[in-house]
Every structure is written in structure tokens, then in C-alpha cells.
Structure 1
Amino acid sequence: MRQEISDNYTNILKEELVLALGCTEPISIAYCAATARKILGEMPDHIEISVSGNMLKNAMGVIIPNTANLRGASAAAILGIVGGKAHRKLEVLEEITDEHISKTNELMSKDFATLKTIDTPVKLYVKVTARKDEHYSTVEIKHTHTNIVRIEKDEKLDFFTKCDDDDFNTPLTTRELLTVSDIYDYAMTVDLDTCLKPYLKMQIDMNYAISIKGLKYDYGLNVGSTLLKHMEGNDIVRKAKAYTAAGSDARMSGSTMPVVTNVGSGNQGITNSVPLIVYAEHKKMSEDQLMRALILSDLIAVHIKTNLGRLSAFCGVVIAGTGAAAGISFLDGGSKSQIEDTIKNILANISGVFCDGAKPSCASKIASSVDAAFQASMLAMDGYSVEPNSGIICGNIEQTIRNIGEIGKHAMNETDQKIIEIMSKISAT
């Protein structure tokens, strides 16, 4: 493998595997608001929040961490204003107290915040303007959850970076070198001791820990604990589904534990990792083998997401489940062609699942994606693969991935708008 490719893949993993507290969409809104207050330098009298439809959708149903039941873009922004620590980025709300929550509830009952959804090609978009008397500050985020592209104070532009609204990969390390074949070779050969081990160890420790918490306590739908309760014998597929779903149960329902994200999502980071952690433990595999499987899982998800963007109508845990499926086959000693077949098998199965916002019931979709991951791997390892030119699946794995991108990025835009419209109507009732 060329050193250029290896270095690129290492940089992508370091960029993607980051800690986040709570669902990343409301956290991004809180981070934007906290930064706006920091720039303003004082508590504002009023804030104006502008978000894309996808940000509104993903902030609407999920419980904001460190709160009992606060939800929504306005609540996230106000929390960021009253108690957020902007320098913590995706952990901006880690130091929220009962006093901050009380103040947020008070301000939500007043005319403190104005929220509007804007029509923009940028799926991940947030702008917060904080006003105090004649002074104001504005902070704008595009494409990724912490990618501030503009900071303005009192008509003076403090910071600006050029950002192509039509290219959601603008702020990221180039993904153009990603291929399934090279990802497999990289996972097999990269020197883990150079710099990757701390990132992968953090992913293992943090994401497994929140899964244990989700199994132990009452969170959301309790998908994980319910699956485990009804497990018979040593059913490793059921166990992997339960542990993975439990992590989402906790995260979507206000847990204060951070997780390691992938492609900007904690749920996807959990789905990429926890099934492999549970399966590797079941098979008594080494930490080195597990980490290599995680590399494959994480990068396969990044590769597919490169054609979709951070947010879309295409459910992200389908993509994360695809990465996990590849990782499962890897742990079973799968060859490169068997891993390609695994990817085709799962995408032929669950690629039609749409996203109707982040919420506690995401744990059910995660359980389904893990189940599909094991099925896809079993089929591939036994020599069975979806035949070429079957639906959207091609003989060429890279074209298959491009097909998924075409559907998620373009064809599902109308679906996305209708989902947002329906959710907004429900929220208003």
C-alpha cells in the first residue's frame, strides 16, 4: 500500500473518532450558541436560531444530555447560552447544572429565542445570533457539527472560511482515496502502535461502557435490556443486538456518558463498534484483531457516507451496520472478496430504511441493522452473495456504493422534505 493512502486513512480515523456527549445535532446547536455568547461577551437579551430541516428533524425527539426531558433546537441553543462551554465542542454541555436547566426552562417560557427553519442545500446548517442592547454576535456552522465558517460581531467579520455549499466534504480530509480493497489492506497491515491505538481503545472503552449502562438502567424503549431478557442460551447475535441497542437507549434518552462518534454520529459510532466488541469477546480474540476489525468497520462506513453527507433521509445506522457486517466477516477470517460480498448482502437487505429524526426508538433500527449485519456475514462466509445487477447491487462494489450515494443524496430529497413536514405538523399539535 502506498504511504500516501495509509497516511490518508490514518488521518481520516483521527478526524472521525471523537468524543461527543449526547446526540450530535442538538449538541452542534448548543455549541454554536455557546460560541455566540462567548463572542458577544455577556448574557444576551434575545437569540435567533436558524437551522436546516435535517438539523430540526434530528433535534426534535432526542433528550438533551444532563437534562431530564428537554428536547428540541431551541432548548439546545438556550442551554448552550446559559451553561455551555464552547471550548469543549461536542462535549459543550458536560458541565450543565440544575440551575442551568431551571434557567433554560424559564427562558423557554419567555420570548427569549426565535427559531426558524431555512431552505438551504446544506443539510447540516446552524446559525445563532445573540443580541444584547445594540450589540450582537453571529456564528454559523456548515456541513460538519463543529465546522464554524463565519463569526461576526457588531458588523465586523471576526472569522470567515470559504465553504462550498454543494460539497459536504469541504471541511474534511480528502476521502477520494477510499476504496474497499485498500481499506481491507490497510486494516490488515497498518502499524497500530504508531498513533491509532489510543483512538481505538477509546472507542472500545467508551462505547462498551454506555452499552452496559443502557442495559443496567431504564432508558427509552429499553430495547437492549428487553432483547437480553428474552435471550435463550448463548445466542451471540441476540447478545450483540442487545448490547448495541442498549448504547443507543442510553444515549438517546439523556445519558451523561460520552461516546466515540463516527461520521459525526454517536449512534453510528456505537453501531460500528459494539457488535464487534461483543463478538470478539465471544470468540476470545485479541485486542489487536478487534482493533483491525474496528478500522475496517469505521472506514467502510466513512467510505459509504462520503457519497451521502452527514445528514440525509437515508438512515445512518444502515451504513454503520454495513461497516459492522464487514468487521464481523473480518473477525471470522473473511477474505477481501467475502467482505465485499458481505457489504452487498446487507445493502441489498436494509438500504431502504429512512431517517425520521434522532430519538429513543433509534435503538430498534440499530438492533435490526446488527441482525442484518450478522446475516449478511453468515451468507458471505458460506459462499452466498447477492447476484450482480440485482436491484441497486452491482458486481463492482465501488459502483454499488456510488449507487447508494445517488439514492441517498439525490433521490430521497423529496422523501426527506415530506418527513420533516410531517414531523413539524406532529410537533405543532
Structure 2
Amino acid sequence: MEKHIYQTYVQVLKEELVPAMGCTEPIALAYCASKCFDTLQDEVQSVDIFVSGNIVKNVKSVIVPNTGGLKGIEASVAAGIVAGDSTKVLEVISIVTNLQKEEMRHFLDSISMKVQAIESDCALDICVHLHGIYHNAKVRIAGYHTNIVYIEKDGEVLYESGVVASSDSSLTDRSLLNVKDIYEFATTVAIEDVQDVLQRQIDCNYAIAKEGIENNWGANIGSILLKTYGDDVKIKAKAYAAAGSDARMSGCEMPVIINSGSGNQGMTASLPVIIYALEEKATQEQLYRALIISNLCTIHQKTGIGRLSAYCGAVSAGVGAGCGIAYLKGGDYKTIAHTLVNALAINSGIVCDGAKPSCAAKIAESVDAGILGYYMYKNGCQFKGGDGIVCKGVENTIRNIGRLSRDGMKETDKEIIKMMCD
């Protein structure tokens, strides 16, 4: 593999597989608010919050961790101001005292907070404007969850990135991703170059999945699957991914390792592969290489789709998990490519209507499609070019999915947001 491509793939994994505590959209709000409060250096008198529609959608129904069960945009911002540590980025409210939880509620009761939905070219767009006694401050995040593009204090611009907010252009170039090179990278990479990020993903995501299975979180999709259908590995793979999501959507205060800006996607891409590796007694190196396949295949699909859209990101991650499982089972590049296309043909109709408990059920279905996509090809069956949106060639099919979600579903996204707001 060319050195430039190799280094790019390593860097992409390091950029994407990072820890976050709580659903990443509320946490991005908290991070933005915490950074703004750091800039203000004054007592807050009022708050103006400007957000894109997809932020409204993904913050509305999910519990913000370490807040005592609070939900919503205002709660996320209040948490960042009262208890945030901006140096922790997506773990900005990971350490919160009981006193601070009380202070959050007092802040919400006593401080004027106005939220305005804005039209933006960027699906992920957040601006927090704090008004103090003596000072004002403004911070904007756009493009992806930690991408601060603007900082202002008392009318003076302290930082402006100059990066187009609607793109991920400040990140490592994802256009080099393709399934053939992903397979080659996974089979040849020096494990020490990626071991730390992958082991962290295994440890964090498996821990929250166990919490979701063993205790009462959300809709309990994981435990219902096991109780109803048994503990066959194919059921366990779905159940553990769903259980992690149920815990996280319901405010569990355990970190997860995200993928493409989403903890649900990070868990969906990794947990089914981890479960298969445990069941089949795979070596740790085999698990690492399979996780490279699943994570990079997920990121590759999401590159064309975007961070937030009307297309459910769990589908991309479930497809990625199917590819990782195919690799664990001895599949070559051709097997992985056909697994990916089959899985996309099965499940590319799930819409994203925000972060909430039903994400766990969508995750279970997406993992099922990934696994079925593999077993179809193993049994000599496949969907072919011309079958609906499937094209000849895995890269062409991935491009079609990007086009479907990015262009075709723009109006769908607007209608979903209107329904949720109504």
C-alpha cells in the first residue's frame, strides 16, 4: 500500500474513533457553551442559541447525561455553562457534582434562554451567544461536532477558521477511502499503529453494552431480543449493539467510542464484530483487523452522506459491522464488497427522526441486514446492478446511497423536523 494512503487511513481512524459521553449533538451544544463561557469571563445574564434543524431533531428527545434526567437544547447549554470543562471536548460534562446538577436547574429557571432554528447550508450548525454583565461572547461550531469555526468577544473576532462550514475539509481527506484499499489496509497494517484506538473502542463500547443488557435502560431492546430469540451469536450481535444504544440514549454516564461523529454508529460498527470474535474465539489481532474493516467501511459510506441527514446512520454502521464479520469469517475483498452491497440493498430506507430509544431497534435491524448480506453471499446469492438503487460495483452503489441521502432526502429531512417540532 502507498505510504500516503496508509498514513491517511491511520489518521482517519484516530480522528473518528474518539470518546464521547452522551449523545454527540447535546454534547456538542454543551462543548460550544462551555467554550463560550470560557471566553466570556463574566456572569451570564442571558443566552441566545442558534441551531440548524438537525440539531433540533437530534437533541429534542434524548437525555443529557450528568444532568439528573434533563432533555433539550437549553439543558445541554446550561450543563456546558454550569459544569463544563471544554478541555475534555466531547466528554465536556463527564465530571459533574450533585451541587452542579442543582445549579443547572436554577440556571434554567432564572436565566433567559432563547433558541432559534436557522436555515444553514450545514446540517450541523451551532452558535451560542452569551450576554454577561460587562461582556458578550459568541462561539460557533459547524461541519462536525468539535469544529469551532468562530470565536468573538465584545465584538472583536478572536478566531475565525476560514473553513467552509458545510464540509469536513479541515479533517484528513476521506476521498481516498475505497473498499479495496480498506481491505488491503486491514490485512497489512502494523497493529501497533492502530492498537490503542481500537482497544479503547473494544473496552468502552463493550462495557456500556453490558450495562444495557444487565440493567433497565430505555426500551430494553437488547434484553428483549435475547429473551425472545435466544442467545445465538447472530442475536447476541444485534442485542449488544442495541443495548449500548438504549443505555446511551437514556442518559447512561459511560463513555463510548464514536464513529463519524456518532456514538450509536460507533457501537453499531464495533459491538457485533466484538461479539462474533468472542463467540468464535478469534485472536486479538483478528479482532483488530476486523474492526478496521467495519469502522472504515462505515466512515466510507458516511463520507458521502454527511454527519447528519434524514438517512439513519445506523444503517451505514450495520453494513460496516456485516463487513467486519465477513472478514472474521475468512472473507476476502470480494466477499466484503458483496456483503456491503447486499446489506445496503436490504436496509437503505430507514429514516433518522432524531436521537431517542427507538434508535436501539433501528440498530438491531441494521446489524441484521449486515449479517444477512454476508450469509446471502456465502450461500451464492446477491443483489445485482439494476436491482433498485444497486449499481454494478461496490463504489458505485456507495455513491448512489450518498446521493440518495444527501440530495434526495433533503425535503424528507425538513418534513421530519417539522413533524417533531409540531
- In structure 1, the residue matched to 2:38 is 38
- In structure 2, the residue matched to 1:197 is 195
Aligned pair count?
A: 422
- Where does 1:218-233 land on structure 2 (aligned, <5 Å)? 218-232=216-230
- Where does 1:218-257 land on structure 2 (aligned, <5 Å)? 218-232=216-230, 234-257=231-254
Q: Shift of residue 111 of structure 1?
A: 4.6
RMSD: 1.0
- In structure 2, the residue matched to 1:121 is 121
- In structure 2, the residue matched to 1:332 is 329
- Where does 1:347-386 land on structure 2 (aligned, <5 Å)? 347-386=344-383
Q: Shift of residue 165 of structure 1?
A: 3.6
- Where does 1:24-423 land on structure 2 (aligned, <5 Å)? 24-166=24-166, 168-193=167-192, 195-232=193-230, 234-423=231-420
Report if the CA contact (8 A) 2:45-2:111 is conserved: no
Structure 2 residue identity aligned to 1:368: E
Whole-angstrom distance in 1 between the partners of 2:56 and 2:39: 24
Report if the CA contact (8 A) 1:246-1:363 is conserved: yes
Report if the CA contact (8 A) 2:24-2:90 is conserved: yes
Whole-angstrom distance in 2 between the partners of 1:361 and 1:176: 32
Give the stretch that moved more between structures: 252-261 or 384-393: 384-393
Structure 1 residue identity aligned to 2:270: S
Q: Shift of residue 134 of structure 1?
A: 4.1
Structure 1 residue identity aligned to 2:251: G
TM-score, structure 1 normalization? 0.97
TM-score, structure 2 normalization? 0.98
Report if the CA contact (8 A) 1:231-1:239 is conserved: no
Structure 1: runs of 5 or more not aligned: none
Q: Shift of residue 87 of structure 1?
A: 0.7
Structure 2 residue identity aligned to 1:403: N
Give SS of 2:141's match.
strand
Q: Shift of residue 106 of structure 1?
A: 2.4
Q: Shift of residue 192 of structure 1?
A: 0.5
Whole-angstrom distance in 1 between the partners of 2:352 and 2:309: 7
Whole-angstrom distance in 1 between the partners of 2:147 and 2:302: 17
Q: Shift of residue 70 of structure 1?
A: 0.7
Give SS of 2:44's match.
coil
Give SS of 1:113's match.
strand
Whole-angstrom distance in 2 between the partners of 1:115 and 1:88: 25
Report if the CA contact (8 A) 1:300-1:323 is conserved: yes
Give SS of 1:45's match.
strand
Q: Shift of residue 43 of structure 1?
A: 2.8
Report if the CA contact (8 A) 1:56-1:117 is conserved: yes
Provide, for residues 342-381 of structure 1, a one-character-per-residue CA deviation record: whole Å limited to 9, x for no partner: 0111100110100000012210101111111111111112
